[in-house]
């Protein structure tokens, strides 16, 4: 069956990258449709009327939204190279930690990035506390998925994409190699993986982008 797979995303979004990495891992051909979030396309508004956000995977004309939902859809639809573990308990753990990443860890990291002074210190401390849970998950493993990249590696891809960018811009330290040797090694293993590295957003553009999105927050504070 001829599959038509389109991914609505931006060049930089880690949530969009989750989707294209998953499709690449499954060996599927797809087209990227780059969105300008300041001027959203009719296609995006039509396919994601609830959130009006990227990424959207459009499979033979049918839209699927929310990146973790999309990863499950991809894994349910194409059985080769499974993303989620097969064991129900391991699957539950992968889902639990992916959700923790989005709901808890990321907001704590953002609160260290978008602030200054005492608020920033507190954000960084909370983020480091959250990262300690993640460090433990990697004990004895190269990837969260074990020997190979899986669902949880893709779910945590944003850590590799953005943390060092945020650290550089906000002059904070979240992941130092002594406290987090396993996460540090994972970031290196993940970002240099043949399936992953080609689509890696260029560091200079990321720095520029994240400086620009941080700036209004600091102005509000001043």
Q: Which residues are at the interface with its own copies (CB under 8 A)?
A: 50, 59, 62, 64-66, 69-70, 72-73, 76-77, 88-89, 91-92, 95-96, 99-100, 104, 133
- Shortest Å distance, C-beta 179 to its own copies: 19
- Shortest Å distance, C-beta 51 to its own copies: 8
Instruction: Give the other-Cβ count within 10 Å of 145's Cβ.
Output: 19
- Shortest Å distance, C-beta 83 to its own copies: 13
Whole-angstrom Cα distance, residue 182 to residue 178? 9
| Closer to its own copies by Cβ: residue 41 or 77 | 77
Helix (H, G, I), strand (E, B) or coil at 141: coil
Beta carbons of 14 and 157 less than 8 angstroms apart: yes
| Closer to its own copies by Cβ: residue 76 or 176 | 76
Locate 120 and state its tokens. Answer: 């920033």
| Closer to its own copies by Cβ: residue 69 or 199 | 69
- Shortest Å distance, C-beta 106 to its own copies: 14
Whole-angstrom Cα distance, residue 212 to residue 208? 6
Q: What proportions of the chain, in percent to the nearest 5, are helix, strand and coil?
A: 60, 10, 35
């Amino acid at each position: 069956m001829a599959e038509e797979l389109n991914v609505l995303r931006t060049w930089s979004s880690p949530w969009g990258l989750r989707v294209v990495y998953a499709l690449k891992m499954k060996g599927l051909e797809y087209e990227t449709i780059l969105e300008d979030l300041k001027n959203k396309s009719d296609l995006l508004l039509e396919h994601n009327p609830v959130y009006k956000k990227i990424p959207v995977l459009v499979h033979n004309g049918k839209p699927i939204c929310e990146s973790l939902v999309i990863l499950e859809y991809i894994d349910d639809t194409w059985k080769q190279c499974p993303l989620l573990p097969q064991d129900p308990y391991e699957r539950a753990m992968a889902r639990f930690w992916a959700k923790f990443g989005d709901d808890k860890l990321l907001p704590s990291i953002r609160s260290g990035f978008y602030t200054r002074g005492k608020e920033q210190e507190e954000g960084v401390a909370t983020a480091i506390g959250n990262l300690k849970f993640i460090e433990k998950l990697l004990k004895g493993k190269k990837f969260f998925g074990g020997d190979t990249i899986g669902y949880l590696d893709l779910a945590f891809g944003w850590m590799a994409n953005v943390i060092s960018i945020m650290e550089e811009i906000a002059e904070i330290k979240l992941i130092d190699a002594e406290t987090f040797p396993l996460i540090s090694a994972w970031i290196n293993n993940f970002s240099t993986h043949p399936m992953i590295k080609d689509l890696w957003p260029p560091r200079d553009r990321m720095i520029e982008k994240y400086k620009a999105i941080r700036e209004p927050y600091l102005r509000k504070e001043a």
